[in-house]
Amino acid sequence: MTPRRPSRPPARRPPRKPGHEPAARVRPRVGEPTAGRLRPQRSERPALRAGRDVYIVQTQPGFETLAWEEIAARVEGAQLLGFRTVPRRAGMAVFLAPRPDKLSTLRLAEDVFALLCYRRGLAPTRASLEKIESSVRTALYLENALHARNKLTPGSRGGRRLRFKVVTRLVGEHEFLRTELKRAIETAIPGRGDHTWRLDEAAADVEFWVTMIDDEWMLAVRLSDDRMRHREYKTAHLPGSLRPSVAAALGWLSGPREDDVVLDPMCGAGTVLIERAHLGRYAMLLGGDSERTMLDAARENIGPRYQPIELRLWDAVALPLPDSSVTKIVTNLPWGVKHGSHAANRRLYPRLLAEFARVLKKGGVMVLLTAETRLMRELWRDGMLKPARVLQVSILGAPAAVYVCPRDAIPETGED
Ligand SMILES: C[S@@+](CC[C@H](N)C(=O)[O-])C[C@H]1O[C@@H](n2cnc3c(N)ncnc32)[C@H](O)[C@@H]1O
């Protein structure tokens, strides 16, 4: 069954989620000194606030609104304070939560922080460095944060003597460099009276993360460790393999249901299927790849878990599956960088979309991640794709987009 090409609909801009800035389009340069041509950049975003119960969840840029959706669904009493983006580096959802316990169960988060200090209205001049140093020395809530960190990351070290490191992000035009901001914080922390602090980048007990976006400044303590970002199941890593939090976000966008038959036709190391399994019940997981080494990695990562699951060696343009046999397709398409080429994708993508439309049931949804945004726009214009939602994201610094395409929006073969 080959879908016909319908007549071309007018090109439409991808819909934008109200109130959400697409990460890839935010202006600033990171950490460049620009003395001599500085204007104060007052943030127009609603102010945030720090506090005993204020947390930040960090994602790849563009996924922060979804991360908040997950928090709202899983963490009782959570209240959103706002979103912030560090272009190409991080998306952040800042929120209040009465208890930190559930934060370690979040799948769409890469990291969780406690927000100790927040100021806005800082001038982009060197005088602000002194204000920041003073805020660091007097910041409250550190003990609460260390307590929360112990709950979320059992085994993290406490005590009187603590080794620390500082991670800084600087967005916008400032008279000082990111490294100068970092040094200012590193100098201020040992001036706190609460612990004996020693700077130790390699073996830090406590990580202070400092983010300055235009005139806003935040000091946070990291509550999670690398296990949240990389997950313990991921023993086989392969080039092009997705960050688990991104795979979870794709699964979240598919609207998980317990009768789902979920297909990842190009499953690589299996991350999308595994993360979908963690989001909730399903009827069946199906995965395949054209490379045997990829399937071996997926089998290693999956082990005996996530049943019922079937993995097969196949070509995704000719799936050995009946028409209308799956309810969700969730996949990371080849970007033409580590897998294939842009030229090959021009031939591959239309064939993939036709095949996905064939196996997807009416009422089903496909969620597709790719950096081939120009090609996707052309296919959209040609009617091969009708996304209900497009998220502009950035993955490890590379701009990409996620397309959420309900099956019912794609014309049936023979339908006018
Ligand atoms: C961008 S990667 C997806 C990686 C996967 N989501 C993960 O996290 O490991 C694309 C995958 O598509 C596979 N692939 C490329 N062309 C294919 C085709 N025609 N049929 C099936 N798999 C294909 C590649 O082998 C690769 O594993």
CB atoms closer than 10 angstroms to residue 260: 24
Instruction: Report CA(60)–ligand 1 centroid distance (Å).
Output: 21
Map residue 311 onto helix, strand or coil.
strand
Residue 22 has pLDDT above 50, yes or no: no
* pLDDT the model gives residue 409: 84
Q: How far apart are CA 249 and CA 234, in angstroms?
A: 17
Model pLDDT for residues 328-355, shown as the tens digit of each residue = 999 999 999 877 799 999 999 999 999 9
Binding site membership of 294 for ligand 1 (Cβ less than 6 Å):
yes
Binding site membership of 130 for ligand 1 (Cβ less than 6 Å):
no
Residue 181 banded pLDDT, cuts 50, 70, 90: very high
Torsion 114-117-119-124 (CA) sign: negative
* pLDDT the model gives residue 194: 93
Model pLDDT for residues 97-119, shown as the tens digit of each residue = 999 989 989 999 999 999 999 99
Residues 6+ apart with CB under 8 A from 180: 129
pLDDT, the chain, mean: 88
Residue 33 banded pLDDT, cuts 50, 70, 90: very low
Map residue 357 onto helix, strand or coil.
helix
Instruction: Report CA(381)–ligand 1 centroid distance (Å).
Output: 25
Binding site membership of 339 for ligand 1 (Cβ less than 6 Å):
yes
Binding site membership of 297 for ligand 1 (Cβ less than 6 Å):
no
* pLDDT the model gives residue 283: 98
Model pLDDT for residues 259-314, shown as the tens digit of each residue = 999 999 999 999 999 999 999 999 999 999 999 999 999 999 999 999 999 999 99
Instruction: Report CA(55)–ligand 1 centroid distance (Å).
Output: 36
Q: How far apart are CA 202 and CA 250, in angstroms?
A: 34
For ligand 1, what atom is nearest to the CA of residue 238? Answer: 9
Kindly list the structural domains of the chain, giving each domain's residue range(s) and its CATH number in brackets, ordered by start.
31-229 (3.30.2130.30), 231-409 (3.40.50.150)
Binding site membership of 369 for ligand 1 (Cβ less than 6 Å):
no
Nearest to 88 by CA among 382, 411, 393: 393
Q: How far apart are CA 141 and CA 219, in angstroms?
A: 11
Instruction: Report CA(109)–ligand 1 centroid distance (Å).
Output: 24
Given ligand 1 and candidates 319, 339, 346, which is best to mutate, with the most ligand atoms within 8 Å of its CB? 339
Peptide bond into 399 cis (omega under 30): no
Model pLDDT for residues 212-256, shown as the tens digit of each residue = 999 999 999 999 987 777 777 767 666 667 899 999 999 999 999
